[in-house]
Structure 1
């Protein structure tokens, strides 16, 4: 068996074992390394069009660094030129639960997500299921209107990013 699970196998495992994910917040920085803008993906979800973060599973036999790189390339394109962190220590860890009403809700499964802030230097060309990549200033991201366009769990991670970076 290869590193991928069949859809039935994945569904079975999701109901029995927490899955490991990465959530990546792409940023553009100035010459001093200060965050100027944060990238959000725009895409079609089951609930309609929404904004979300680069996100996805860590595969069997895949390092965290490889997972971060793969998901950035999948969602932002091969020319995004991410500046991966020296270490794989996340800025926070998010936990998703399949329990309605949970602060971080994902009906599919219990998932543990390692969250990273990754500067990107190149051109972002949306790929896969992504319709567009939009860059927002920290001020724009603090608005309830923009956060309402996001998946609630990703809006929560975004608020944690802003607090972590001292941008609240």
Structure 2
């Protein structure tokens, strides 16, 4: 008899994850990758291009679960590297105070954030990146937008589950909303 139990610490099997998602909130980190100029002003926002579960093309932020016994900083760096590549050179802030906490619900309308799979709590950060970003994992591309372009209705419509709201909050946090 073969043993199919996952042995990597902090990982759940697919069945365990589904059971856990049905019973308790899951902790995530979300990052808005940005390019900044010499004075620290945000000049561009990076959005990942993905194919959604229903086959639609979507734009998303860097996001992922925090593993058991993993520091928030380590989870943030892991997901930035997984999505943007190993030479993105993210500048994770010394203080890990998120700009907001987004609470995703499987029921639409409870908050602006929706995830049909689960109740999730996400700590959200704006993270400057200075290196060469090459999307990995399931991302098709990474597109850099000016803050004004990222806030356009066309781009916002391509962001599922309330991520457009989260992007708007991030840009307001860094002074890009007028």
TM range (shorter): over 0.9
Contact 2:102 2:123 in 1 (8 A): yes
How many residue pairs were aligned? 168
Structure 2: gaps spanning 5 or more residues: 1-6
Alignment of 1:1-168 (within 5 A): 2-47=9-54, 48-102=56-110, 103-168=112-177
Aligned partners of 1:33, 1:162: CA distance in 2, in Å? 13
Residues 59-91 of structure 1: CA deviation (Å, up to 9, x unaligned): 001000000000000000000000011011101
Structure 1: gaps spanning 5 or more residues: none
Per-residue deviation at 1:165? 1.7
Per-residue deviation at 1:101? 3.3
Aligned partners of 1:147, 1:11: CA distance in 2, in Å? 29
Residues 89-118 of structure 1: CA deviation (Å, up to 9, x unaligned): 101100000113332111111110000000
Name whichever of 48-57 and 94-103 sits farther off: 94-103
User: Which of 1 and 2 has greater Rg?
Assistant: 2
Residues 25-48 of structure 1: CA deviation (Å, up to 9, x unaligned): 000000111100000000111131
Per-residue deviation at 1:20? 0.2
CA RMSD of aligned residues (A): 1.0
Contact 2:34 2:129 in 1 (8 A): yes
TM-score, with structure 2 as normaliser: 0.91
TM-score, with structure 1 as normaliser: 0.97
